[in-house]
Structure 1
Amino acid sequence: MKKDQTTPARRNLLRIAACLGGAAAGLVVGEWVQTSGGTPGGTPGRTTAPRPAGSPRPAVVSGPAGPPAVAGGLPVRASAHRLRPMTAYATPGFRPAIPPVRRRPFLRMAQAGRTMVLTFDDGPDPRYTPGILSTLRAYEARAMFFVCGELATVHRDLLREMIDDGHVVGNHSWSHPLIPRLPPSGIRDELGRTSEVIEQVLGAPPLWYRAPFGAWNKHSFEIGAQLGMEPLAWTVDSLDWQSPGTGAIVRRVLDGAGPGVVVLSHDAGGERSQSVAALRRYLPSLIDAGYRITVPRG
């Protein structure tokens, strides 16, 4: 993959990616919401969603957490990640690069009716990802999986299963580092290698990425844009990374449910049996409440 080249066709895909899949339901939504104060992103020909003032910030827990110590290129142990999102590392502002890039990740969908997006980070993991895929399949629901490259390259069959079921595969870096502590070359390597693996396995590079720990900075936005990806954060953190108990995860997701909400969960990075069990409980409840579980399409 040519990492620094964004073709007109690619830009069109990114524009389309802001639309939600669901032709069967007869609904197409093409607007997302960012935090206020963001700079429109994209290259010429890309349509950028408006940013209403006062857009809500993600329901995440801030605070320091050390980066995982992972040997480059080796499969990650289940205990390697401390999954504590750190919004304090988000860059408050900077002079846009060329082409312009975003200052903030997308946090939620707008004007989408009773539509929600479920996202799962840090996989794929053969112990937990299959159970999540099975539950989503049973309810004909689509989700987003933000994968780590060093796991994706080992478990390519799970990536194929994700795409075969209609899910969206996004970039979550190669080894789950703390991005703001890396030089630009390191960020490019983390994101670029993962995009290459996804493209090798699925035939197309990812259109979306998410920073590990929710820790974004100027260079991550710039390099992500150069690789043709849009940044996606979340509205509701299920806190499954804390292993609070299946019931607590279910309650947090259902309490945070609402039109346009993006839910953060995990299918790897630790002991995730609670995440698998919780999905089996809250997914049918969301559907019974009239929510359509969908994904952005590219």
Structure 2
Amino acid sequence: MKMNASAALLTAAALPCSVVYAADCSKTGYGQGTAVDEKNRPLDAVQFNSRFGDLDAFALSEDDKRIIITFDQGYENGYTAKILDTLKEKKVQAIFFLTGPYAKTEQALVQRMIDEGHILGNHGMTHASLPDLSDNDARHEIQSLHSYILDKYGYQMQYFRCPCGEYSEHALELTKECGYTTLFWSSAYVDWKTDCQPDPDDSLKKMTDAAHGGEILLLHSVSATNAEILGELIDNFRANGFTV
């Protein structure tokens, strides 16, 4: 799987959103599960790649030496600048999945992400669950944010993350038709509850122990815990032989 911020995409005006037929429309909530294989990879993530890779939808990357750090950016809680500081210090490129409101209200932070070499991902203009939308509304959810980011920042996004982690085969097919690769994750934890943050030491151990090649790590930038432990977590990944 390519993770190149400079990879060329079609312009928003040319996105090939043709009508999709025959795919299953049943809504599914993604989860990586707890069972793992001999490489410490969650079995559900491995199976997701096998089932949906031909739709350009992945929960793991093909690079078995690398861990990809991603952040979902629904709203700002004061920690993104510190997270960016740490990523810059550690020389790590992350993917930030933006919603429309975040892209519109946090322009300085978004521009900093671009300037410092990070990848912007599409998390939906309104963070609506695609399987709940009509085809036209689902396309608009993707394309309107794509067009905004292109017009405002001159940046073409290429990766989509399904809002709420909810998808259907039909939604994945439609997203592919819109020129996007869909990225889920193979590691995550409950870090988004701002009034009930997990213990930093426990969180650091949990994510270090769960590390695996090809990992796509989902974090939320609203988390005080993540902002505190990110640097040490990156160090732990590297000490265990992974590229970050």
TM-score (norm 1): 0.62
The structure with higher relative contact order (CA 8 Å, sep 6+) is 2
1:147 to 92, 98, 101: 98
1:109 to 61, 76, 97: 61
What is the match of residue 217 of structure 2?
263
> How far did 1:155 drift?
1.4
Question: Kindly tell me: are residues 246 and 58 of structure 1, through their superposed partners in 2, closer, same or farther at Cα, counting changes over 3 Å?
Answer: farther
Within the alignment, does 1:56 sit opposite 2:7 as a pair?
no
Within the alignment, does 1:234 sit opposite 2:221 as a pair?
no
Within the alignment, does 1:252 sit opposite 2:206 as a pair?
yes
2:86 to 116, 123, 135: 135
Distance 1:124 1:136 in 2: 19
What is the match of residue 5 of structure 1?
16
> 2:59 corresponds to which letter in structure 1?
L
What is the match of residue 287 of structure 1?
238
**Structure 1 residues 114-129: aligned runs within 5 Å:** 114-123=65-74, 125=76, 127-129=78-80
> How far did 1:280 drift?
2.8
Secondary structure class of the residue paired with 1:292: coil
Q: Are the counterparts in 1 of residues 60 and 185 from structure 2 also a CA contact under 8 Å?
A: yes
> How far did 1:221 drift?
1.7
Distance 2:238 2:135 in 1: 42
> How far did 1:175 drift?
1.9
> 1:2 corresponds to which letter in structure 2?
A
Distance 1:265 1:146 in 2: 10
Distance 2:172 2:75 in 1: 24
> How far did 1:165 drift?
1.3
TM-score (norm 2): 0.74
Question: Kindly tell me: are residues 186 and 165 of structure 1, through their superposed partners in 2, closer, same or farther at Cα, counting changes over 3 Å?
Answer: same
Q: How many residues align?
A: 205
> 2:116 corresponds to which letter in structure 1?
D
Q: Which runs of 5+ in 1 are unaligned?
A: 7-34, 36-53, 60-86, 94-100, 294-298
Distance 2:14 2:109 in 1: 24
> 2:164 corresponds to which letter in structure 1?
F
**Structure 1 residues 90-239: aligned runs within 5 Å:** 102=55, 105-110=57-62, 112-123=63-74, 125=76, 127-239=78-190
Task: Spell out structure 1 runs of 4+ moving beyond 6 A.
Answer: none
Provide, for residues 210-244 of structure 1, a one-character-per-residue CA deviation record: whole Å limited to 9, x for no partner: 00121112342233223211011111113212432
> 1:106 corresponds to which letter in structure 2?
F
Q: CA RMSD in A?
A: 2.8
Question: Kindly tell me: are residues 162 and 5 of structure 1, through their superposed partners in 2, closer, same or farther at Cα, counting changes over 3 Å?
Answer: same
